[in-house]
Structure 1
Amino acid sequence: MNIPDIQSTRDLRNLPINQVGIKDLRFPISVQSQSGIQNTIARMTMTVFLPAHQKGTHMSRFVALMEEQTATLNYTQLQHLTHEMLTRLQSDSGKISISFPFFRQKTAPVSGIKSLMDYDVTLCSEMKNGEYSHILKVMIPVTSLCPCSKEISQYGAHNQRSHVTLSLRCTQEVQIEEVIDLVENNASCQLYGLLKRPDEKYVTEKAYENPKFVEDMVRDMALALKNDSRIQSFEIESENFESIHNHSAYAYLAYP
Protein backbone atom coordinates (compact mmCIF):
# COMPACT_ATOMS: atom_id res chain seq x y z
CA MET A 1 0.00 0.00 0.00
CA ASN A 2 1.42 3.36 -1.07
CA ILE A 3 0.92 5.91 1.74
CA PRO A 4 1.66 9.55 0.77
CA ASP A 5 4.39 11.39 2.73
CA ILE A 6 3.01 14.95 2.89
CA GLN A 7 5.76 16.33 5.14
CA SER A 8 8.39 15.53 2.52
CA THR A 9 6.64 17.53 -0.22
CA ARG A 10 7.95 20.87 -1.40
CA ASP A 11 6.86 24.08 0.34
CA LEU A 12 6.37 27.14 -1.86
CA ARG A 13 6.39 29.92 0.77
CA ASN A 14 10.19 30.25 0.68
CA LEU A 15 10.57 30.56 4.47
CA PRO A 16 13.12 28.46 6.36
CA ILE A 17 12.41 27.57 10.01
CA ASN A 18 15.21 28.06 12.54
CA GLN A 19 14.15 25.26 14.88
CA VAL A 20 11.50 22.60 14.49
CA GLY A 21 11.09 19.37 16.42
CA ILE A 22 9.69 18.08 19.69
CA LYS A 23 9.48 19.78 23.08
CA ASP A 24 8.97 18.50 26.62
CA LEU A 25 9.54 14.82 25.88
CA ARG A 26 9.85 12.97 29.21
CA PHE A 27 12.35 10.17 28.94
CA PRO A 28 14.48 8.00 31.26
CA ILE A 29 18.22 8.57 30.91
CA SER A 30 21.44 7.66 32.68
CA VAL A 31 24.06 10.31 33.41
CA GLN A 32 27.75 9.86 34.13
CA SER A 33 29.00 11.71 37.23
CA GLN A 34 31.99 11.63 39.54
CA SER A 35 30.16 9.32 41.91
CA GLY A 36 29.10 6.92 39.16
CA ILE A 37 26.14 6.44 36.87
CA GLN A 38 22.85 8.01 37.97
CA ASN A 39 19.47 7.10 36.48
CA THR A 40 16.94 9.91 36.24
CA ILE A 41 13.98 11.24 34.24
CA ALA A 42 14.64 14.04 31.76
CA ARG A 43 12.56 16.60 29.93
CA MET A 44 13.91 17.00 26.43
CA THR A 45 13.68 19.41 23.53
CA MET A 46 15.13 18.25 20.20
CA THR A 47 15.07 20.51 17.16
CA VAL A 48 16.68 20.91 13.73
CA PHE A 49 16.87 23.59 11.06
CA LEU A 50 14.26 23.17 8.32
CA PRO A 51 15.15 24.54 4.85
CA ALA A 52 12.66 26.70 2.98
CA HIS A 53 11.79 24.07 0.38
CA GLN A 54 10.84 21.34 2.89
CA LYS A 55 7.27 21.28 4.17
CA GLY A 56 7.91 19.49 7.46
CA THR A 57 10.41 17.49 9.46
CA HIS A 58 10.13 13.84 10.51
CA MET A 59 8.88 14.21 14.09
CA SER A 60 8.86 10.48 14.84
CA ARG A 61 12.60 10.21 14.19
CA PHE A 62 13.43 12.26 17.28
CA VAL A 63 11.62 9.81 19.55
CA ALA A 64 12.94 6.80 17.63
CA LEU A 65 16.48 8.07 18.21
CA MET A 66 15.93 8.27 21.97
CA GLU A 67 14.32 4.80 22.03
CA GLU A 68 17.61 3.47 20.66
CA GLN A 69 19.75 5.59 23.02
CA THR A 70 21.16 3.20 25.61
CA ALA A 71 24.57 4.75 26.34
CA THR A 72 25.22 6.79 29.48
CA LEU A 73 25.18 10.52 28.72
CA ASN A 74 28.38 12.52 29.07
CA TYR A 75 30.13 15.18 27.00
CA THR A 76 31.23 12.79 24.25
CA GLN A 77 27.97 10.84 24.04
CA LEU A 78 25.81 13.98 23.82
CA GLN A 79 27.96 15.20 20.93
CA HIS A 80 27.49 11.83 19.21
CA LEU A 81 23.73 11.96 19.83
CA THR A 82 23.53 15.43 18.26
CA HIS A 83 25.40 14.30 15.14
CA GLU A 84 23.16 11.24 14.86
CA MET A 85 20.03 13.42 15.13
CA LEU A 86 21.18 15.65 12.29
CA THR A 87 22.00 12.63 10.12
CA ARG A 88 18.57 11.09 10.61
CA LEU A 89 16.73 14.36 10.13
CA GLN A 90 18.92 15.32 7.14
CA SER A 91 19.76 18.72 8.56
CA ASP A 92 23.04 20.60 9.04
CA SER A 93 22.17 22.27 12.35
CA GLY A 94 20.16 21.46 15.44
CA LYS A 95 19.87 21.54 19.22
CA ILE A 96 19.24 19.15 22.08
CA SER A 97 18.28 20.30 25.59
CA ILE A 98 18.07 17.76 28.41
CA SER A 99 16.86 18.89 31.85
CA PHE A 100 16.73 16.59 34.86
CA PRO A 101 16.99 16.45 38.67
CA PHE A 102 20.40 15.35 39.92
CA PHE A 103 20.81 13.88 43.40
CA ARG A 104 23.92 13.90 45.54
CA GLN A 105 24.45 12.27 48.91
CA LYS A 106 25.74 14.70 51.50
CA THR A 107 27.09 14.20 55.00
CA ALA A 108 26.03 16.53 57.82
CA PRO A 109 29.06 18.43 59.20
CA VAL A 110 28.83 17.32 62.86
CA SER A 111 26.54 14.29 63.26
CA GLY A 112 27.70 12.69 60.01
CA ILE A 113 24.14 11.74 59.12
CA LYS A 114 23.69 11.20 55.36
CA SER A 115 20.91 12.58 53.17
CA LEU A 116 20.21 13.44 49.56
CA MET A 117 20.22 16.93 48.03
CA ASP A 118 18.66 17.61 44.65
CA TYR A 119 19.94 20.01 41.99
CA ASP A 120 18.41 21.12 38.66
CA VAL A 121 20.70 20.30 35.74
CA THR A 122 20.42 21.04 32.02
CA LEU A 123 22.70 19.73 29.29
CA CYS A 124 22.52 21.60 25.97
CA SER A 125 24.19 20.72 22.69
CA GLU A 126 24.09 22.57 19.38
CA MET A 127 25.58 22.05 15.96
CA LYS A 128 25.63 25.21 13.82
CA ASN A 129 27.79 26.23 10.85
CA GLY A 130 29.85 23.10 11.31
CA GLU A 131 30.75 23.92 14.93
CA TYR A 132 29.65 22.02 18.02
CA SER A 133 28.90 23.74 21.34
CA HIS A 134 28.12 22.22 24.73
CA ILE A 135 26.54 23.95 27.73
CA LEU A 136 26.25 22.60 31.27
CA LYS A 137 23.75 24.49 33.43
CA VAL A 138 23.29 23.76 37.14
CA MET A 139 21.13 25.47 39.77
CA ILE A 140 22.56 25.13 43.28
CA PRO A 141 20.69 26.29 46.43
CA VAL A 142 22.93 27.73 49.16
CA THR A 143 22.83 30.08 52.16
CA SER A 144 23.99 33.69 52.08
CA LEU A 145 24.36 36.00 55.10
CA CYS A 146 24.32 39.77 54.72
CA PRO A 147 27.65 41.46 55.67
CA CYS A 148 25.92 44.80 56.24
CA SER A 149 23.37 43.28 58.62
CA LYS A 150 26.14 41.62 60.59
CA GLU A 151 28.15 44.85 60.81
CA ILE A 152 25.36 47.11 62.05
CA SER A 153 23.56 44.69 64.41
CA GLN A 154 24.50 44.18 68.04
CA TYR A 155 23.69 40.49 67.66
CA GLY A 156 22.57 38.31 64.79
CA ALA A 157 22.37 38.98 61.06
CA HIS A 158 19.74 38.19 58.46
CA ASN A 159 20.43 35.30 56.12
CA GLN A 160 18.52 33.72 53.29
CA ARG A 161 18.42 30.80 50.90
CA SER A 162 19.95 31.66 47.55
CA HIS A 163 19.61 30.04 44.14
CA VAL A 164 22.85 30.21 42.17
CA THR A 165 22.73 29.17 38.51
CA LEU A 166 25.88 28.55 36.50
CA SER A 167 25.82 28.12 32.71
CA LEU A 168 29.15 26.93 31.36
CA ARG A 169 30.05 26.69 27.68
CA CYS A 170 32.53 23.82 27.78
CA THR A 171 35.16 22.48 25.40
CA GLN A 172 35.75 19.37 27.52
CA GLU A 173 33.92 17.34 30.13
CA VAL A 174 33.07 19.23 33.33
CA GLN A 175 31.48 17.11 36.05
CA ILE A 176 28.23 18.20 37.68
CA GLU A 177 29.75 17.71 41.14
CA GLU A 178 32.58 20.11 40.28
CA VAL A 179 30.08 22.87 39.62
CA ILE A 180 28.18 22.12 42.82
CA ASP A 181 31.41 22.18 44.86
CA LEU A 182 32.50 25.49 43.36
CA VAL A 183 29.22 27.21 44.23
CA GLU A 184 28.87 25.72 47.71
CA ASN A 185 32.45 26.62 48.58
CA ASN A 186 31.83 30.25 47.62
CA ALA A 187 28.58 30.76 49.54
CA SER A 188 28.16 31.68 53.17
CA CYS A 189 27.21 28.05 53.83
CA GLN A 190 25.92 25.05 51.90
CA LEU A 191 22.58 23.32 52.40
CA TYR A 192 21.82 19.79 53.57
CA GLY A 193 18.76 17.58 53.25
CA LEU A 194 18.88 16.46 56.87
CA LEU A 195 20.48 18.05 59.95
CA LYS A 196 20.55 17.30 63.67
CA ARG A 197 20.73 20.06 66.29
CA PRO A 198 24.57 20.11 66.46
CA ASP A 199 24.58 20.43 62.66
CA GLU A 200 22.11 23.32 62.78
CA LYS A 201 24.37 25.10 65.24
CA TYR A 202 27.36 24.52 62.96
CA VAL A 203 25.75 25.79 59.72
CA THR A 204 24.24 28.83 61.47
CA GLU A 205 27.60 29.85 62.92
CA LYS A 206 29.48 29.05 59.71
CA ALA A 207 27.23 31.37 57.71
CA TYR A 208 27.65 34.09 60.37
CA GLU A 209 31.44 33.80 60.12
CA ASN A 210 31.33 33.92 56.31
CA PRO A 211 29.03 36.79 55.25
CA LYS A 212 28.53 37.31 51.50
CA PHE A 213 26.68 39.88 49.44
CA VAL A 214 25.06 38.57 46.26
CA GLU A 215 27.80 40.52 44.46
CA ASP A 216 30.52 38.75 46.44
CA MET A 217 29.25 35.32 45.48
CA VAL A 218 29.14 35.86 41.72
CA ARG A 219 32.55 37.57 41.69
CA ASP A 220 34.22 34.84 43.75
CA MET A 221 32.79 32.14 41.51
CA ALA A 222 33.83 34.01 38.37
CA LEU A 223 37.44 34.21 39.54
CA ALA A 224 37.56 30.44 39.94
CA LEU A 225 35.91 29.77 36.56
CA LYS A 226 38.19 32.13 34.63
CA ASN A 227 41.16 29.90 35.41
CA ASP A 228 39.55 26.71 34.06
CA SER A 229 40.81 25.99 30.53
CA ARG A 230 37.86 23.65 29.84
CA ILE A 231 35.39 26.54 30.06
CA GLN A 232 35.09 28.83 27.05
CA SER A 233 32.57 31.23 28.57
CA PHE A 234 30.11 31.33 31.45
CA GLU A 235 27.13 33.07 33.00
CA ILE A 236 26.41 33.26 36.72
CA GLU A 237 23.11 34.26 38.29
CA SER A 238 22.42 34.52 41.99
CA GLU A 239 19.00 35.24 43.45
CA ASN A 240 18.88 35.77 47.21
CA PHE A 241 15.38 35.39 48.64
CA GLU A 242 15.59 38.15 51.23
CA SER A 243 14.32 37.37 54.72
CA ILE A 244 13.68 41.05 55.61
CA HIS A 245 12.18 42.21 52.28
CA ASN A 246 9.42 41.02 49.99
CA HIS A 247 11.80 41.02 47.05
CA SER A 248 15.01 39.25 46.06
CA ALA A 249 18.54 40.53 45.71
CA TYR A 250 19.92 39.57 42.31
CA ALA A 251 23.24 39.57 40.47
CA TYR A 252 24.24 38.42 36.98
CA LEU A 253 27.80 38.13 35.67
CA ALA A 254 28.84 36.94 32.21
CA TYR A 255 32.36 36.22 30.93
CA PRO A 256 33.81 37.16 28.57
Structure 2
Amino acid sequence: MIQEQNSRTGSALPDVQSSSDVRHIPIQRVGVKSVSYPVTVKTADGFMHTVASVNMYVSLPASQKGTHMSRFFRLLDETTQPLCKEVVEDLMQRMLTALHASAGTIEFEFPFFVKKPAPISKIPSLMSYRGGFTVTTEDGRTAVTEHVLAPVTSLCPCSKEISRYGAHNQRSHITIDAECAESVPLEDLIHIAENSASCPLWSLLKREDEKFVTEFAYDHPKFVEDISRDAAKALKDDPRIISFRLQVENFESIHNHSAYAQITFDRRAPLCD
Protein backbone atom coordinates (compact mmCIF):
# COMPACT_ATOMS: atom_id res chain seq x y z
CA MET A 1 0.00 0.00 0.00
CA ILE A 2 2.86 2.36 0.89
CA GLN A 3 4.62 1.63 -2.41
CA GLU A 4 1.41 2.36 -4.33
CA GLN A 5 1.01 5.69 -2.53
CA ASN A 6 4.65 6.60 -3.24
CA SER A 7 4.20 5.71 -6.89
CA ARG A 8 1.11 7.86 -7.23
CA THR A 9 2.78 10.73 -5.36
CA GLY A 10 6.01 10.43 -7.36
CA SER A 11 4.23 10.84 -10.66
CA ALA A 12 3.10 14.29 -9.59
CA LEU A 13 6.38 15.55 -8.10
CA PRO A 14 7.71 18.70 -9.78
CA ASP A 15 10.96 18.55 -11.77
CA VAL A 16 12.72 21.51 -10.13
CA GLN A 17 16.03 20.95 -11.94
CA SER A 18 14.39 21.47 -15.33
CA SER A 19 12.78 24.76 -14.34
CA SER A 20 14.09 28.02 -15.77
CA ASP A 21 16.70 30.22 -14.12
CA VAL A 22 16.43 34.02 -14.24
CA ARG A 23 20.12 34.83 -13.58
CA HIS A 24 21.15 33.98 -17.17
CA ILE A 25 24.57 32.58 -16.25
CA PRO A 26 25.74 29.37 -18.00
CA ILE A 27 27.77 26.80 -16.06
CA GLN A 28 30.68 25.15 -17.86
CA ARG A 29 30.90 22.13 -15.54
CA VAL A 30 28.32 20.73 -13.14
CA GLY A 31 27.97 17.15 -11.95
CA VAL A 32 29.42 14.68 -9.46
CA LYS A 33 33.00 14.53 -8.19
CA SER A 34 35.13 11.93 -6.40
CA VAL A 35 32.72 9.04 -6.82
CA SER A 36 34.32 5.75 -5.70
CA TYR A 37 33.14 3.07 -8.08
CA PRO A 38 34.22 -0.50 -8.92
CA VAL A 39 35.32 -0.86 -12.54
CA THR A 40 36.93 -3.36 -14.87
CA VAL A 41 39.83 -2.14 -16.99
CA LYS A 42 41.01 -3.61 -20.26
CA THR A 43 44.68 -4.61 -20.04
CA ALA A 44 47.25 -6.03 -22.42
CA ASP A 45 46.62 -9.53 -21.03
CA GLY A 46 42.88 -9.41 -20.38
CA PHE A 47 40.90 -7.58 -17.71
CA MET A 48 41.57 -6.21 -14.24
CA HIS A 49 39.13 -5.30 -11.47
CA THR A 50 39.87 -2.12 -9.52
CA VAL A 51 38.14 0.84 -7.85
CA ALA A 52 38.10 4.18 -9.64
CA SER A 53 37.61 7.74 -8.49
CA VAL A 54 35.16 9.16 -11.02
CA ASN A 55 34.25 12.74 -11.94
CA MET A 56 31.36 13.39 -14.36
CA TYR A 57 30.39 16.87 -15.52
CA VAL A 58 28.16 18.43 -18.16
CA SER A 59 27.63 21.99 -19.32
CA LEU A 60 24.42 23.68 -18.20
CA PRO A 61 22.74 26.40 -20.26
CA ALA A 62 21.92 29.73 -18.66
CA SER A 63 18.21 29.07 -18.93
CA GLN A 64 18.18 25.81 -16.90
CA LYS A 65 18.19 25.78 -13.08
CA GLY A 66 20.00 22.50 -12.49
CA THR A 67 21.14 19.16 -13.85
CA HIS A 68 19.85 15.71 -12.85
CA MET A 69 22.53 14.29 -10.52
CA SER A 70 20.99 10.82 -10.21
CA ARG A 71 21.43 10.20 -13.93
CA PHE A 72 25.22 10.17 -13.58
CA PHE A 73 25.00 7.17 -11.25
CA ARG A 74 22.54 5.39 -13.52
CA LEU A 75 24.98 5.82 -16.40
CA LEU A 76 27.78 4.29 -14.31
CA ASP A 77 25.55 1.36 -13.34
CA GLU A 78 24.81 0.73 -17.01
CA THR A 79 28.51 0.74 -17.97
CA THR A 80 29.43 -2.93 -17.60
CA GLN A 81 32.14 -3.32 -20.25
CA PRO A 82 35.84 -3.02 -19.34
CA LEU A 83 37.09 0.55 -19.60
CA CYS A 84 38.95 1.45 -22.78
CA LYS A 85 38.88 4.26 -25.33
CA GLU A 86 35.75 3.04 -27.11
CA VAL A 87 33.81 2.38 -23.89
CA VAL A 88 34.42 5.83 -22.37
CA GLU A 89 33.54 7.46 -25.70
CA ASP A 90 30.23 5.61 -25.65
CA LEU A 91 29.66 6.62 -22.02
CA MET A 92 30.20 10.26 -22.98
CA GLN A 93 27.60 10.12 -25.75
CA ARG A 94 25.09 8.47 -23.43
CA MET A 95 25.77 11.11 -20.77
CA LEU A 96 25.23 14.02 -23.15
CA THR A 97 21.99 12.47 -24.37
CA ALA A 98 20.68 11.70 -20.88
CA LEU A 99 21.51 15.18 -19.56
CA HIS A 100 20.56 17.06 -22.77
CA ALA A 101 24.01 18.66 -22.75
CA SER A 102 26.30 19.83 -25.56
CA ALA A 103 29.59 19.50 -23.66
CA GLY A 104 30.93 17.29 -20.91
CA THR A 105 33.90 15.73 -19.14
CA ILE A 106 34.34 12.30 -17.56
CA GLU A 107 37.45 11.37 -15.56
CA PHE A 108 38.44 7.93 -14.26
CA GLU A 109 41.52 7.43 -12.09
CA PHE A 110 42.36 4.11 -10.46
CA PRO A 111 45.14 1.90 -9.06
CA PHE A 112 46.55 -0.20 -11.89
CA PHE A 113 48.62 -3.33 -11.23
CA VAL A 114 51.13 -5.14 -13.44
CA LYS A 115 52.69 -8.49 -12.56
CA LYS A 116 56.44 -8.07 -13.06
CA PRO A 117 59.17 -10.67 -12.65
CA ALA A 118 62.22 -9.46 -10.73
CA PRO A 119 65.15 -8.76 -13.08
CA ILE A 120 67.44 -11.61 -11.95
CA SER A 121 65.54 -13.99 -9.64
CA LYS A 122 62.45 -13.71 -11.89
CA ILE A 123 60.15 -13.95 -8.85
CA PRO A 124 56.85 -12.33 -9.89
CA SER A 125 55.11 -9.63 -7.86
CA LEU A 126 52.44 -7.02 -8.45
CA MET A 127 53.69 -3.50 -9.09
CA SER A 128 51.20 -0.67 -8.54
CA TYR A 129 50.75 2.35 -10.79
CA ARG A 130 48.06 4.97 -11.34
CA GLY A 131 45.97 4.70 -14.47
CA GLY A 132 43.03 6.55 -15.90
CA PHE A 133 40.92 7.85 -18.74
CA THR A 134 39.60 11.35 -19.42
CA VAL A 135 37.02 11.93 -22.14
CA THR A 136 35.85 15.42 -23.10
CA THR A 137 33.36 16.74 -25.60
CA GLU A 138 33.47 20.42 -26.53
CA ASP A 139 32.44 22.27 -29.70
CA GLY A 140 31.30 18.99 -31.20
CA ARG A 141 34.69 17.24 -30.78
CA THR A 142 35.26 14.26 -28.46
CA ALA A 143 38.76 13.38 -27.27
CA VAL A 144 39.98 10.56 -25.01
CA THR A 145 43.17 10.89 -22.98
CA GLU A 146 44.86 7.89 -21.37
CA HIS A 147 46.71 8.53 -18.11
CA VAL A 148 49.50 6.70 -16.30
CA LEU A 149 51.75 7.62 -13.38
CA ALA A 150 54.81 5.38 -13.14
CA PRO A 151 57.26 5.53 -10.21
CA VAL A 152 60.88 5.00 -11.29
CA THR A 153 64.48 5.55 -10.14
CA SER A 154 66.63 8.47 -11.30
CA LEU A 155 70.37 8.84 -10.64
CA CYS A 156 72.14 12.19 -10.95
CA PRO A 157 74.84 12.37 -13.68
CA CYS A 158 76.51 15.35 -11.99
CA SER A 159 76.76 13.59 -8.66
CA LYS A 160 78.27 10.54 -10.33
CA GLU A 161 80.80 12.64 -12.29
CA ILE A 162 82.12 14.71 -9.39
CA SER A 163 82.13 12.04 -6.66
CA ARG A 164 84.93 9.54 -6.07
CA TYR A 165 82.33 6.89 -5.21
CA GLY A 166 78.55 6.71 -5.25
CA ALA A 167 75.95 9.06 -6.67
CA HIS A 168 72.72 10.37 -5.21
CA ASN A 169 69.56 8.82 -6.55
CA GLN A 170 65.87 9.06 -5.77
CA ARG A 171 62.43 7.88 -6.67
CA SER A 172 60.76 9.81 -9.47
CA HIS A 173 57.28 10.02 -10.95
CA ILE A 174 56.70 10.02 -14.70
CA THR A 175 53.17 11.08 -15.63
CA ILE A 176 51.86 10.65 -19.17
CA ASP A 177 48.55 11.97 -20.46
CA ALA A 178 48.22 10.87 -24.08
CA GLU A 179 45.45 11.32 -26.62
CA CYS A 180 45.55 8.24 -28.83
CA ALA A 181 44.13 7.46 -32.25
CA GLU A 182 43.27 3.95 -31.04
CA SER A 183 43.16 2.07 -27.77
CA VAL A 184 46.69 1.80 -26.38
CA PRO A 185 47.25 -0.60 -23.47
CA LEU A 186 48.20 1.33 -20.36
CA GLU A 187 51.14 -1.07 -20.03
CA ASP A 188 52.60 0.40 -23.25
CA LEU A 189 52.70 3.89 -21.70
CA ILE A 190 54.18 2.47 -18.49
CA HIS A 191 56.84 0.70 -20.57
CA ILE A 192 57.79 4.00 -22.24
CA ALA A 193 58.06 5.71 -18.85
CA GLU A 194 60.18 2.99 -17.25
CA ASN A 195 62.53 2.70 -20.22
CA SER A 196 63.20 6.45 -20.00
CA ALA A 197 64.37 6.37 -16.38
CA SER A 198 67.66 5.36 -14.81
CA CYS A 199 65.94 2.16 -13.68
CA PRO A 200 62.40 0.78 -13.20
CA LEU A 201 61.01 -0.22 -9.80
CA TRP A 202 59.80 -3.61 -8.54
CA SER A 203 57.74 -4.52 -5.50
CA LEU A 204 59.79 -7.62 -4.61
CA LEU A 205 63.58 -7.84 -4.94
CA LYS A 206 65.99 -10.49 -3.67
CA ARG A 207 69.64 -9.64 -3.01
CA GLU A 208 70.74 -10.48 -6.53
CA ASP A 209 67.96 -8.26 -7.89
CA GLU A 210 68.92 -5.38 -5.59
CA LYS A 211 72.52 -5.62 -6.82
CA PHE A 212 71.28 -5.48 -10.42
CA VAL A 213 69.00 -2.44 -10.02
CA THR A 214 71.63 -0.53 -8.03
CA GLU A 215 74.28 -1.07 -10.69
CA PHE A 216 71.85 -0.56 -13.58
CA ALA A 217 70.83 2.85 -12.26
CA TYR A 218 74.49 3.77 -11.75
CA ASP A 219 75.20 2.86 -15.38
CA HIS A 220 72.24 4.95 -16.63
CA PRO A 221 72.47 8.35 -14.89
CA LYS A 222 69.84 10.84 -16.03
CA PHE A 223 68.81 14.37 -15.16
CA VAL A 224 65.10 15.18 -15.05
CA GLU A 225 65.70 16.78 -18.47
CA ASP A 226 67.13 13.52 -19.85
CA ILE A 227 64.21 11.45 -18.61
CA SER A 228 61.63 13.84 -20.05
CA ARG A 229 63.36 14.06 -23.45
CA ASP A 230 63.83 10.30 -23.74
CA ALA A 231 60.18 9.68 -22.84
CA ALA A 232 58.99 12.42 -25.19
CA LYS A 233 60.97 10.95 -28.08
CA ALA A 234 59.45 7.50 -27.51
CA LEU A 235 55.95 9.01 -27.37
CA LYS A 236 56.55 11.00 -30.57
CA ASP A 237 57.83 7.88 -32.32
CA ASP A 238 54.60 5.99 -31.53
CA PRO A 239 52.17 6.66 -34.43
CA ARG A 240 49.18 5.76 -32.22
CA ILE A 241 49.74 8.83 -30.05
CA ILE A 242 48.22 12.07 -31.33
CA SER A 243 49.25 14.39 -28.51
CA PHE A 244 50.62 14.19 -24.99
CA ARG A 245 51.54 16.03 -21.84
CA LEU A 246 54.54 14.50 -20.12
CA GLN A 247 55.59 15.41 -16.57
CA VAL A 248 58.64 14.19 -14.66
CA GLU A 249 59.23 14.91 -10.98
CA ASN A 250 62.39 13.81 -9.15
CA PHE A 251 61.95 13.78 -5.38
CA GLU A 252 65.50 14.89 -4.67
CA SER A 253 67.38 12.98 -1.97
CA ILE A 254 69.95 15.72 -1.18
CA HIS A 255 67.61 18.74 -1.56
CA ASN A 256 64.39 19.73 0.16
CA HIS A 257 62.66 20.25 -3.18
CA SER A 258 61.80 18.36 -6.35
CA ALA A 259 63.29 18.73 -9.82
CA TYR A 260 60.56 18.99 -12.46
CA ALA A 261 60.17 19.00 -16.24
CA GLN A 262 57.19 19.07 -18.60
CA ILE A 263 56.91 18.51 -22.35
CA THR A 264 53.75 18.84 -24.45
CA PHE A 265 53.29 17.76 -28.05
CA ASP A 266 50.50 17.68 -30.63
CA ARG A 267 50.86 16.24 -34.13
CA ARG A 268 48.05 18.50 -35.34
CA ALA A 269 49.89 21.68 -34.39
CA PRO A 270 51.61 23.51 -37.27
CA LEU A 271 55.38 23.05 -37.44
CA CYS A 272 57.45 26.00 -36.31
CA ASP A 273 60.97 26.93 -37.41
Task: Give the % identical residues.
Answer: 51
Aligned mate of 2:165, from 149, 155, 171: 155
SS in structure 2 of the partner of residue 243 of structure 1: coil
SS in structure 2 of the partner of residue 189 of structure 1: coil
- Which residue of the partner structure matches residue 24 of structure 1? 34
Aligned mate of 2:242, from 213, 223, 232: 232
CA distance in 1, matches of 2:224, 2:129: 20
Correspondence 1:104 to 2:114: yes
Aligned mate of 1:243, from 243, 253, 257: 253
1:1-256 alignment, distance < 5 Å: 1=9, 2-256=12-266
CA distance in 2, matches of 1:76, 1:188: 34
Contact map agreement 1:164 1:236 (CA 8 A) in 2? yes
> TM-score, length-normalised on structure 2?
0.92
- Report how far residue 127 of structure 1 moved: 1.1
- Which residue of the partner structure matches residue 3 of structure 2? none
Q: Which one-letter code corresponds to 2:241 in the other structure?
A: I
CA distance in 2, matches of 1:70, 1:168: 24
CA distance in 2, matches of 1:136, 1:95: 14
Q: How many corresponding residue pairs? A: 256
Contact map agreement 1:133 1:171 (CA 8 A) in 2? no
Q: Which one-letter code corresponds to 2:57 in the other structure?
A: T
Q: Which one-letter code corresponds to 1:148 in the other structure?
A: C
SS in structure 1 of the partner of residue 28 of structure 2: strand
Q: Which one-letter code corresponds to 2:177 in the other structure?
A: S
- Report how far residue 28 of structure 1 moved: 0.5
Per-residue displacement from partner, 1:12-52 (whole Å, max 9, x unpaired)? 11111001110111111001010210000011000111011
Per-residue displacement from partner, 1:125-184 (whole Å, max 9, x unpaired)? 011111110111111000011111111111111111101111112222111000111111
Structure 1, unmatched stretches of 5+, are none
Give RMSD over aligned pairs.
0.9
- Report how far residue 122 of structure 1 moved: 2.0
Who wins on radius of gyration, i.e. which is larger?
A: 2
SS in structure 2 of the partner of residue 250 of structure 1: strand
Per-residue displacement from partner, 1:86-128 (whole Å, max 9, x unpaired)? 1111111111000100001111111111111111112100111
- Report how far residue 229 of structure 1 moved: 2.2
